[in-house]
């Protein structure tokens, strides 16, 4: 007898969402702790020439150092983001587990950065990409997960909408 169950048959949307969120959260917190323990503030360590560097920075702003010093605003945005995750979790019932994985990226990243902000009043950033003095704003694992999650969510929703419009009535 062959097993015809899909490989994710036992995985519930909640497990995918929470496991992804927990993985991102832990990766974010561990990498930030390592940077804080091993690099002095503002210390730079080249990884790939000057293209990619570890650069220990403190960010009191949002992702990529935007909106410095707006702690109350960031807490409001965090509550809004968590509310949107709950909304989409319910709206996606019966859809692909991919969507729950994407929500998990946003969840883990959001919780990673808000943990720092509540604990320290700032977020530790450490990934710097660029050439010489022309650099992308320094970021961290949580920022990356949030951006990848939101972009994937927007793309997925647009594909779902297009598929729904093209489906025969």
Helix segments in 5-140, DSSP class H: 13-38, 71-91, 97-120
Residues of the chain with pLDDT under 50: 4-5
The residue written with tokens 């709950």 in the block is: 86
Task: Please state the domain extents for the chain.
Answer: 13-164
Catalytic residue numbers, as ranges: 125, 143
pLDDT at position 70: 66
User: In angstroms, rounded to a whole number, what is the distance separating the alpha carbons of residues 54 and 125?
Assistant: 9
pLDDT at position 94: 84
77-83 — which CB contacts under 8 Å span 24+ positions?
Answer: 78/110, 78/113, 78/114, 81/106, 81/110, 82/107, 82/110
- Partners of 125 in the β-ladder: 57
137 φ, ψ to 5°? -55, 140
93-133 pLDDT per residue, tens: 888 899 999 999 999 999 999 999 999 989 999 999 999 88
Q: What's the pTM?
A: 0.85
């Amino acid at each position: 007898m062959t097993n015809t169950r899909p490989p994710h048959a036992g995985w519930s949307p909640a497990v995918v969402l929470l496991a992804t969120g927990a993985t991102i959260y832990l990766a974010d917190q561990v990498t930030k702790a390592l940077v804080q323990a091993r690099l002095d503030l503002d210390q730079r360590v080249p990884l790939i020439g000057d293209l990619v560097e570890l650069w220990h920075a403190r960010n009191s702003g949002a992702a990529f150092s935007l909106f410095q010093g707006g702690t109350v605003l960031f807490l409001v945005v965090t509550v809004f983001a968590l509310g949107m995750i709950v909304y989409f979790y319910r709206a996606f019932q019966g859809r692909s587990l991919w969507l729950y994985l994407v929500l998990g990226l946003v969840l883990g990243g959001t919780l990673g950065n808000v943990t720092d902000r509540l604990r320290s009043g700032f977020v530790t950033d450490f990934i710097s990409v660029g050439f010489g003095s022309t650099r992308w704003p320094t970021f961290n694992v949580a920022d990356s997960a949030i951006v990848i999650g939101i972009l994937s969510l927007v793309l997925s929703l647009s594909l779902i909408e297009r598929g729904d419009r093209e489906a025969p009535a």
